[in-house]
Structure 1
Amino acid sequence: MRKLLTVITSVILLSSCKQTDTKNIQNKETTKKDSIKIENSSQTVQSNSDLLEQFSKNKNEVIHKLKTLSNKEANALYEKYSEENTALVQQIAEKEAGVLDKFYYEDEANKKAVKLLGEKLSKHQLEFSEIGEGYVEIDPVHDFYYQIFKDYVTNDYKDYLYLVSEESKSLYSADAGLVISFKDLGDRIISWENFMTKYPDSNLIASVKEQYKNYQMDYLVGQDNTPTAERATDENYIYPENIQEFNRFMKKYPKSPTVPLINLFMENFKNENIFDLLRAEQDKL
């Protein structure tokens, strides 16, 4: 789930770049101290400590700058900062690839190296993210962006960052299967439906809707290792626990746009083209 913030932010930049005027931000960057300079792959960095210090320096500069900006300018700064920050964190992870690759090793030397790196990351509000299949990444703590921007951005961005921070508390999926329960996934769907209803004109709508549709598809069909229906035998059927969850959802949220999709799935889950049927219905939303 930590990928969520990165994916949505990238789409936000595409959908809102024509709508958000960032010239005011640039005009206020009158000194070198006020500008945000993110180290990138074309620059020479001597050590991972330098990258970590740059990470914290950038954060502090953003916090200082936010005090001078309007809400809409703060939105634009969030988009720019989160994109650049993602690139910087990736550099940090690349520098520590040797330790991350041995995260699950049981020998004392590697366990010590992992522990020391974890302590170092913690000082900069970074942490390990175990994403399954033996892979480990580095990410900001779950509420990193929310805590920085919540008092400065517009309400839609504030609510968006809060929802993302809550979802980022736990891993969403790993090893081709859901980690959270289908009930929790259903509740996530409702949270984003409420968001889109509350902020229909938000610059975030296009990107939020894309992730929302992914949630719907996972809720209805599942993932490879956590499917909602048995299709390996001649007697195909929806698992009883998923039927129970679908019924719970429809009873609790009868007006949800997801209800027609649930009915469509339950009536046509044996159809080889069920994915296409669901996507066609989603496009009507």
Structure 2
Amino acid sequence: MTKNYIYIGLFLTSVLVSCRKENSVLPNSESTDTITEIQYTSDPDYVLSNKNAQELIVHLEDEQNDLKRKLKKANKKEAEALYIDYYKRFTTIVDSLNLAEINTLNTYHQMGTAKHDTILRKQNTYDKLGLYFRKVDSTTYDFKIKPGFFYNLFHNKISKEFEEYLRLGYVEHKLFYDQQTKNEKITLESQRNLIINWEKFITQHKDFKFIDSAKRSYSDNMMLYLFGTPAKPTFEISSKKLYVENEQEYISFVKQNPNLISAEITKSFLKHFYVNDKNFTSEKFYVDLKEFTKKEISEHIK
């Protein structure tokens, strides 16, 4: 397999998957973590394993400056090609930083607010590069490109549909970023708006080159809207009862948006929930409901 094919493969599996990690949906009895999956690039063609953190920082800065220089002269087609190329490059470097800084990341959560000067200097350095310490779960951190980094760079330089795709990814990622950095709650309204906008995108741009990735983002956000996170589920698994706030939200959403695919899925979710809440044990109920909902989403957006 040539490197070009490898690069495209990495892009297709990585783009917007960053938020997909945030959107992991598990029974609330399994974990109190908000993110339960983390994967780094392990292919030797990608991981710059022979470079230390300082070398990687310089390398990332050089690549960012190189991209900005090329974007000044690029037309829309060239800019889109640059996005694909440099998304891969930056992902490579960030993955490598996660390995080079493993000791810092492993102890970061233990420091709390009492971080020593070395860590504060690192935070400042990575902040200038558009990176931040992302909280993966209750004890784990990694480096993550800040939301809006690519959208802001490529704004007005790519096609409208490509820009909307990046904008939605930006909005999606920013919800979790603000939750961590500003302690802002992810509201049902913000989740609802996101799934509506993703639905609008995938129905209006069926021939978009990364439509499969857009559909995965829609699916993940739809599951998040209906199931919540381990830290904030939408229903109590043991009693198989929807929380009042969520139940009212779903009923209102279905009534007010009868023509939306998302409303049809939500209606099917509610019907299946009510019909089967007495037919299974709590764990089987959850698994059955999750499998049913995934199938419903897949059928509606295939």
> TM-score normalised by the shorter chain: which range applies?
0.7 to 0.9
**Structure 1 residues 256, 10: CA separation in 2 closer, same or farther (over 3 Å shift)?**
same
Could you tell me which amino acid in structure 2 is paired with residue 241 of structure 1? Answer: E
Structure 2 unaligned spans of 5+ = 1-8, 16-44, 280-284
Alpha-carbon separation, structure 1, partners of 2:291 and 2:172: 28
Query: What residue number does 2:32 align with?
Result: none
**Structure 1 residues 52, 42: CA separation in 2 closer, same or farther (over 3 Å shift)?**
closer
Alpha-carbon separation, structure 2, partners of 1:129 and 1:107: 14
CA RMSD of aligned residues (A): 2.8
Query: What residue number does 2:66 align with?
Result: 61
Q: Per the alignment, in what secondary structure is the counterpart of residue 226 of structure 2? A: helix
Note if 1:246 corresponds to 2:261. no
Aligned partner of 1:260 among 256, 264, 267:
264
Structure 1 unaligned spans of 5+ = 1-6, 14-38
Q: TM-score, normalization: structure 2?
A: 0.72
Q: Per the alignment, in what secondary structure is the counterpart of residue 127 of structure 1? A: strand
Could you tell me which amino acid in structure 1 is paired with residue 293 of structure 2? Answer: L
Aligned partner of 2:84 among 59, 63, 79:
79
Could you tell me which amino acid in structure 2 is paired with residue 247 of structure 1? Answer: I
Aligned partner of 2:222 among 191, 195, 216:
216
Structure 1 residue 279, shift from structure 2 partner: 2.6
Question: More strand per residue: 1 or 2?
Answer: 1
Structure 1 residue 283, shift from structure 2 partner: 2.5
Alpha-carbon separation, structure 1, partners of 2:110 and 2:232: 28
Structure 1 residue 69, shift from structure 2 partner: 3.1
Structure 1 residue 108, shift from structure 2 partner: 9.5
Alpha-carbon separation, structure 1, partners of 2:124 and 2:167: 26
Alpha-carbon separation, structure 2, partners of 1:42 and 1:231: 44
**Structure 1 residues 109, 218: CA separation in 2 closer, same or farther (over 3 Å shift)?**
closer
Query: What residue number does 2:298 align with?
Result: 283
Report Cα offsets for 1:181-202 as digits up to 9, x if no partner.
Answer: 3332121101111222332221
Could you tell me which amino acid in structure 1 is paired with residue 109 of structure 2? Answer: Y
Alpha-carbon separation, structure 1, partners of 2:194 and 2:229: 16
Q: Per the alignment, in what secondary structure is the counterpart of residue 135 of structure 2? A: strand
Structure 1 residue 106, shift from structure 2 partner: 4.0
Alpha-carbon separation, structure 2, partners of 1:107 and 1:131: 15
Question: More helix per residue: 1 or 2?
Answer: 2
Q: Aligned runs of 1:28-177 on 2, under 5 Å? A: 40-41=46-47, 44-45=50-51, 47-106=52-111, 110-171=115-176
Q: Per the alignment, in what secondary structure is the counterpart of residue 226 of structure 1? A: coil
Could you tell me which amino acid in structure 1 is paired with residue 253 of structure 2? Answer: F
Alpha-carbon separation, structure 2, partners of 1:187 and 1:131: 24
**Structure 1 residues 252, 8: CA separation in 2 closer, same or farther (over 3 Å shift)?**
farther
Conserved in 1, the CA contact under 8 Å of 2:254 and 2:267? Answer: no
**Structure 1 residues 213, 266: CA separation in 2 closer, same or farther (over 3 Å shift)?**
same
Query: What residue number does 2:13 align with?
Result: 11
Conserved in 2, the CA contact under 8 Å of 1:93 and 1:138? Answer: yes
Segments of 4+ moved more than 6 angstroms: none
Could you tell me which amino acid in structure 2 is paired with residue 278 of structure 1? Answer: T
**Structure 1 residues 108, 207: CA separation in 2 closer, same or farther (over 3 Å shift)?**
closer
Alpha-carbon separation, structure 1, partners of 2:14 and 2:55: 30
Q: Per the alignment, in what secondary structure is the counterpart of residue 227 of structure 1? A: coil
Alpha-carbon separation, structure 2, partners of 1:221 and 1:209: 18
Could you tell me which amino acid in structure 2 is paired with residue 130 of structure 1? Answer: K
Structure 1 residue 151, shift from structure 2 partner: 2.6
Conserved in 2, the CA contact under 8 Å of 1:142 and 1:165? Answer: yes
Alpha-carbon separation, structure 2, partners of 1:202 and 1:108: 44
Q: Per the alignment, in what secondary structure is the counterpart of residue 299 of structure 2? A: coil
Could you tell me which amino acid in structure 2 is paired with residue 136 of structure 1? Answer: Y
Structure 1 residue 40, shift from structure 2 partner: 4.6
Structure 1 residue 64, shift from structure 2 partner: 1.7
Alpha-carbon separation, structure 2, partners of 1:185 and 1:265: 16
Report Cα offsets for 1:58-109 as digits up to 9, x if no partner.
Answer: 1111122223433223212211211221110111222222222222334998
Q: TM-score, normalization: structure 1?
A: 0.76
